[in-house]
Structure 1
Amino acid sequence: MNVRDNLPVGYLFIFFFVNKNINQPTKKIIIMNWYFKVLKQYADFNGRARRKEYWMFFLFNLIITYGIQFIAIGLELPEILIVSTIYSFGVLIPSIAVGVRRMHDVGKSGWYLIIPIYSLILACTNGEKGPNKWGPDPKNPDTELDDIGVAEA
């Protein structure tokens, strides 16, 4: 049985970019899960967030916000723009929280988020390898580095 047979048509586009070999049976990893992960950690300012988590949340926020606005303009109902505003206020705290966790992943305080250009550079930078003072490495949470930088088993 083909993996594509089990997915709704709308997910095929998303699934194609996540799974390079779509005919091989794998776990169904939908990139929308990164968005839901951030919403589940609504006001969690502790820990670290991977680049993928941060940017997928950013991408889906953009898609949802502009989607609502295009629908409002297309239907010529400016009242629907209020929904976009309510949504933006609703995801304000999770957006700040994932940004702070992203700063933690690169080894900086969450306050660096308020420095415009520098925070963008940090958000694009790869996170620190191994644990730092904000928690374990979100890419490899099981890998601990000893004093000389060798992974312990």
Structure 2
Amino acid sequence: MQWYIKVLKNYIGFHGRASRTEYWMFMLINAIITFIFTLVDDFANTKEMFAGIYGLLTLIPLIAVGVRRLHDIGRSGWWYLISIIPFLGSLILLIMACFKSEDHENRFGPVPARSYEYKK
């Protein structure tokens, strides 16, 4: 949960780097919350109102953490636009998000804290 909150606190931070742990923990918790809101919408018959509002509120942090993840592997954030290509673009981004982080400082900043180094 700490990684999810860290991403939300850095709401519009497109600079710097995001480790694999930060990225994937945010994506996991975001998917779980979206699923819960979808269930609530189904039971309340609100036609995906809650899930839609939540999706809009987390759209910018989702893009920002994706851009920072690309920075962590040494790619420009503009690579995120490849997701415009249906299916193939998202698949390429998924594969790139799985790449190992660069173990040294790169042009986007210092190495991000690892999960065992994170302090509140």
TM-score (normalised: structure 1): 0.66
How far apart are 1:139 and its partner, in Å? 3.8
Task: Report SS of the residue matched to 2:17.
Answer: coil
Runs of 4+ in 1 over 6 A off after TM superposition: none
| 2:76 equivalent in structure 1 | 109
**How many matched pairs?**
107
Query: 116-125 vs 39-48, which deviates more?
Result: 116-125
How far apart are 1:80 and its partner, in Å? 6.5
| 2:117 equivalent in structure 1 | none
Task: Work out whether 1:125 is the aligned partner of 2:99.
Answer: yes
| 1:96 equivalent in structure 2 | 63
Name the CA distance, whole Å, in 2 between partners of 1:139 and 1:82.
Answer: 36
* Equivalent runs, 1:1-153 vs 2, <5 Å: 32-73=1-42, 75=43, 77-79=44-46, 81-115=48-82, 116=89, 117-139=91-113
How far apart are 1:95 and its partner, in Å? 0.3
Give 1 or 2 for the bigger CA radius of gyration: 1
Point out where structure 1 has 5 or more consecutive residues left out of the alignment.
Answer: 1-31, 141-153
Kept in 1, the 8 Å contact 2:12–2:61? The answer is yes
How far apart are 1:121 and its partner, in Å? 1.2
Name the CA distance, whole Å, in 2 between partners of 1:119 and 1:81.
Answer: 27
Query: 79-88 vs 121-130, which deviates more?
Result: 79-88
Name the CA distance, whole Å, in 1 between partners of 2:60 and 2:41.
Answer: 25
**Structure 1 or 2: more helix by fraction:** 2
Identity rate, percent: 48
The structure, 1 or 2, with the larger RCO (C-alpha pairs under 8 Å, 6+ apart) is 2
Kept in 2, the 8 Å contact 1:68–1:80? The answer is no
TM-score (normalised: structure 2): 0.84
AA partner of residue 111 (structure 2): D
Name the CA distance, whole Å, in 1 between partners of 2:45 and 2:52.
Answer: 12
Name the CA distance, whole Å, in 2 between partners of 1:50 and 1:107.
Answer: 12
